[in-house]
Amino acid sequence: MTLPKHVRIVEVGPRDGLQNEKQPIDAATKIALIERLADAGVSHIESGSFVNPKWVPQMAGSDEILSNIHRKNGVVYSALTPNLQGFGRAVLANTDEVAIFTAASESFTQKNINCSIAESIERFEPIMSEAKARGIKVRCYVSTALGCPYEGYVAPEKAAHVAKQLYDMGCYEISISDTTGVATPASTQRVLEECLKLIPLEHLAVHMHDTYGQALANILIALQMGISVVDSSVAGLGGCPYAKGASGNVATEDVVYMLNGMGIETGIDLDTLIQAGDSICTALGRDNGSKVARALLTKG
């Protein structure tokens, strides 16, 4: 067991979270959330998605948001860019870093982005070369790395192979994603073992959903394997599109509480983070998906 001393939280609430919330959310509310997260000490905030608003209307104002955030020194404001057009918009909005995504199962890429895994990776080539030319770092998600809503089981070798291709293309960080939250500590360990055969530890991250309540246990195993980058969503923003009413992203507050207890630094102030999550939940009229927030807000 070689627990990391410091963990970098990649906050995905304003993107992965809000894109799955039903209520329309104006740009000002999103900007307020992003700024509160930065005030809490979050150093990497995925702040929007430059997708076609026809497909993801919730992400429509990303240009405005990335352009108007009051930026804090040392904070990375990133965005998802599925194609070169989106990447162009991201550049215009002064996005610090971009993220791309594909999946480890063919059915998922077919149904979700209408192409094969190989095709999805090919499509990233122009983004990668533009990003390289401009010195913009590219992060990548490997969705369904621990299970697929259509295929079920996904071989860990397959997920690791996809991750390796993206690493070889120049992605500086590959986030191994449990899109449907079906993973347990055992399957998490297996897929990370396969990834570690191909990719150095410091280039791997985990992106765990809490749909089956397993996210923190899975993150714990990842930490024990030395992983030091964890994706999470404040207040557990974002449901699960594959199980109505079920949880999606693991709540940042719950991750930070665990890391605090384990003496692992994040640079995040839990109380300020809880306030940030509480504000957006109030704005959305939604229950807080963080158990830590619920316990501490009720107690206080």
Binding residues vs a copy of itself (CB under 8 A):
181, 183-187, 210-214, 216-217, 219-221, 240, 242-247, 251, 254, 257-258, 260-263, 290-292, 294-296, 298-299
Tell me whether residue 183 or residue 206 sits nearer to a copy of itself (CB atom). 183
What is the largest distance, in Å, between two alpha-carbon atoms of the chain?
52
Query: With contact defined as beta carbons under 8 Å apart, do 142 and 78 qualify?
Result: no
* Min dist. Cβ of residue 208 to a copy of itself (A): 11
Give least dist CB 202 to a copy of itself, A. Answer: 23
d(CA 65, CA 268): 23
List the Cα angle 20/24/25 in 5-degree steps.
Answer: 90
Least Å distance, CB 183 to a copy of itself, is 8
Please say which residue, 51 or 183, places its beta carbon nearer to a copy of itself: 183
Q: Are strands 137-143 and 97-103 parallel, antiparallel or unpaired?
A: parallel
Place of tokens 């939604």: 286
| 240 noted as active-site residue | yes
CB atoms < 10 A from the CB of 197, how many?
Answer: 10
Residue 250 Cβ vs a copy of itself, minimum distance, rounded to whole Å: 9
Which residues, including other chains, have CB under 8 Å from residue 51's CB and lie 6 or more apart? 59, 80, 82, 86
Nearer to a copy of itself, 205 or 258 (CB): 258
Task: Point out the catalytic residue in the list 148, 171, 240, 281.
Answer: 240
Distance CA 243, CA 92 (A): 36
Between 215-224 and 252-261, two packed helices, what is the crossing angle to 10 degrees? 40
| Beta carbon nearer to a copy of itself, 82 or 181 | 181
Active-site positions read: 240
